[in-house]
C-alpha cells in the first residue's frame, strides 16, 4: 500500500500541473488515485489538441509540396519533422519564465509545445512555403522571427513562425498554436550538428569554439547564397521570392 501511494505521488509530481494537489494520507487513497487519473486524462486531451494542430499543418504542407511538384517538377520541401515538446522541457521553459505550472499557463504562454520543422532546398522555397501557408484562411500568423535575415549571434539561421491553426473537434472548432521552423538543408545541417555539440547542455564553450561554429555557419550561408544564384540562373527559383 505504501509503495502504491509513493508511486501515485511520484507520477503526480511528474505531471504538468501543480494546481491539482494529491493527498497521500492512506484514507484518501481513492480520491487521490482519482485525481491522478483525471490529471492524466486532461493531459492526454491537451496533447491530442496539439497533435491535431500538427496533423492539420503537415497535411497542408504535403499538399503544397505535391502541387508544386506537379507544376514545377521539383519539391520545394525536402522533409518535414514534427514533435510535441516533452513534459520536462515544457516545465523547464515555464520555470525559466517564472510561470506557475498550470495547464492554463502552458496553453497561453508556451507557444512551441507543438513544433514542425520544414527543410527546403533553397532560401526562396523557405519564404514561398511560409507565405503560402499563412495565406490560408484557417492559418493565422501570430509571430514571426526571421533569423535568416537577422541570424543569431552564434550564426543560427531559420525562419520561425508561430501560427494558430483551426482544428475541428467533435463538438467545437479550436485554434491550436504551433511553432514552425523553416530552413534550408544547409542551415539545418549547421543547426542539427551544433545542437549535438552544445544546445541545452549549457556547456561553456571557449571563444575559439564559438568562433569556429560561427565560421561554419557562415560557410553554410555562403553555400546557400551560391546555390540560390545557380537556381536563379537555371530558372529553378525566382529572386522575387526572397521576401518575407
Ligand atoms: P527544441 O528541442 O527545438 O524544442 P520564445 O519562444 O519566442 O519565447 P525562444 O523559445 O527562445 O523564445 O524561441 P526562439 O529563439 O525563436 O528559438 C527556439 C527554438 O529555435 C529552439 O527550441 C531551437 O529549436 C531553435 N534554436 C534557437 N536557437 C538555436 C541555436 O542557437 N542552435 C540550434 N541548434 N537551435 C536553435 P528549444 O525549445 O530550445 O529546443
Our mutation pick for probing the ligand 1 site, out of 85, 90, 99, 112, counting the most ligand atoms within 8 A of Cβ, is 112
Higher pLDDT, 42 or 99: 99
Contact 13, 87 (CB under 8 A): no
Exposed, middle or buried, 14 (CB in 10 Å: 0-12/13-18/19+)?
Answer: exposed
Question: Which ligand 1 atom lies nearest to the CA of residue 195?
Answer: 34
Concatenated DSSP letters for the chain?
-HHHHHHHHHHHHHSS-SSS-----GGGHHHHHHHHHHHHHHHHHHHHHHHHHHHHHHHHHHHHHHHHHHHHSS-S-SEEEEEEPPHHHHHHHHHHTT----HHHHHHH-TTSEEEEEEESSHHHHHHHHHHHHTSTTEEEEEEEETTTS--TT----EEEEEEEEEE-SS-EEEEEEEEEEEEHHHHHHHHHHHHHTTTTTPPPPHHHHHHHHHHHHHHHHHHHHHHHHHHHTTSS-GGG---
pLDDT at 19 over 50: no
pLDDT beyond 90 at 116: yes
CB 87 less than 6 A from any atom of ligand 1: no
- Residue pair 159/148 in contact by the 8 Å Cβ criterion: yes
**Cell numbers found for residue 242:** 526572397
Q: How far is the CA of 119 from the centre of ligand 1 (A)?
A: 16
Shortest-distance atom of ligand 1 to CA 145: 16
27: pLDDT confidence band, cut at 50, 70 and 90? very low
What average pLDDT does the segment 128-135 reach? Answer: 97
How would you label 129-157 residue by residue, b for 16+ Cβ within 10 Å and e otherwise?
Answer: bbebbeeeeebeeeeeebbbeebeeebbb
How many angstroms is it from 18 CA to the middle of ligand 1?
26
Q: Is the CB of 146 under 6 A from ligand 1?
A: no
- Residue partners of 191: CB distance under 8 A and separation at least 6: 156, 157, 158, 183
Average pLDDT of the segment spanning 67-75: 93
Pick the atom of ligand 1 nearest to 143's CA: 7
Task: Look at residue 189 and tell me whether its pLDDT is greater than 50.
Answer: yes
User: For residue range 192-232, what is the model confidence (pLDDT) as tens digits?
Assistant: 999 998 765 556 788 999 999 999 999 999 999 999 999 99
With a 6 Å cutoff on the Cβ, whether 152 touches ligand 1 is yes
Contacting residues for 117 by C-beta, under 8 A, at least 6 apart? 80, 81, 82, 180, 181, 182, 183, 188
Is the beta carbon of 194 within 6 A of some atom in ligand 1? Answer: yes
Q: Which residues pair with 161 in a beta bridge?
A: 144, 180
pLDDT at 206: 87
pTM for the whole structure? 0.84
Cα-to-centroid distance, 161 and ligand 1 (Å): 12
Is the model's pLDDT at 120 over the cut of 70? Answer: yes
According to the model, what pLDDT value does residue 235 have? 84
Average confidence (pLDDT) over 129-153: 97
The residue whose CB lies within 8 Å of the most ligand 1 atoms, and thus the one to mutate among 81, 85, 199, 205, is 199
Please tell me the distance between residue 234's alpha carbon and the centre of ligand 1 in angstroms.
34
| Percent residues over pLDDT 90 in the chain | 70
Cα of 142 to ligand 1 centre, how many Å?
Answer: 17
Confidence of residue 3 (pLDDT cuts 50, 70, 90): very low
pLDDT at position 22 is: 28
151 Cα to the center of ligand 1, angstroms:
13
Amino acid at each position: 500500500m505504501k509503495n502504491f501511494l509513493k508511486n501515485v505521488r511520484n507520477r503526480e509530481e511528474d505531471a504538468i500541473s501543480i494546481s491539482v494537489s494529491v493527498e497521500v494520507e492512506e484514507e484518501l487513497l481513492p480520491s487521490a488515485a482519482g485525481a491522478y487519473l483525471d490529471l492524466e486524462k486532461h493531459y492526454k486531451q491537451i496533447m491530442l489538441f496539439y497533435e491535431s494542430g500538427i496533423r492539420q499543418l503537415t497535411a497542408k504542407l504535403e499538399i503544397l509540396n505535391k502541387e508544386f511538384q506537379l507544376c514545377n517538377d521539383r519539391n520545394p520541401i525536402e522533409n518535414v519533422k514534427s514533435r510535441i515538446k516533452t513534459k520536462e522541457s515544457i516545465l523547464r521553459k515555464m520555470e525559466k519564465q517564472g510561470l506557475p505550472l498550470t495547464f492554463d499557463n502552458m496553453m497561453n504562454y508556451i507557444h512551441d509545445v507543438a513544433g514542425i520543422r520544414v527543410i527546403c532546398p533553397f532560401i526562396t522555397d523557405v519564404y514561398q512555403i511560409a507565405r503560402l501557408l499563412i495565406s490560408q484562411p484557417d492559418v493565422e500568423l501570430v509571430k514571426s522571427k526571421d533569423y535568416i535575415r537577422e541570424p543569431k549571434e552564434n550564426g543560427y539561421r531559420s525562419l520561425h513562425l508561430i501560427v494558430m491553426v483551426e482544428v475541428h473537434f467533435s463538438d467545437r472548432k479550436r485554434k491550436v498554436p504551433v511553432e514552425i521552423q523553416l530552413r534550408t538543408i544547409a542551415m539545418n545541417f549547421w543547426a542539427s550538428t551544433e545542437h549535438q555539440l552544445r544546445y541545452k547542455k549549457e556547456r561553456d564553450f571557449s571563444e575559439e569554439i564559438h568562433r569556429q561554429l560561427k565560421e561554419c555557419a557562415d560557410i553554410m550561408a555562403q553555400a546557400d547564397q551560391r546555390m540560390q544564384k545557380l537556381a536563379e540562373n537555371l530558372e529553378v527559383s525566382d529572386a522575387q521570392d526572397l521576401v518575407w
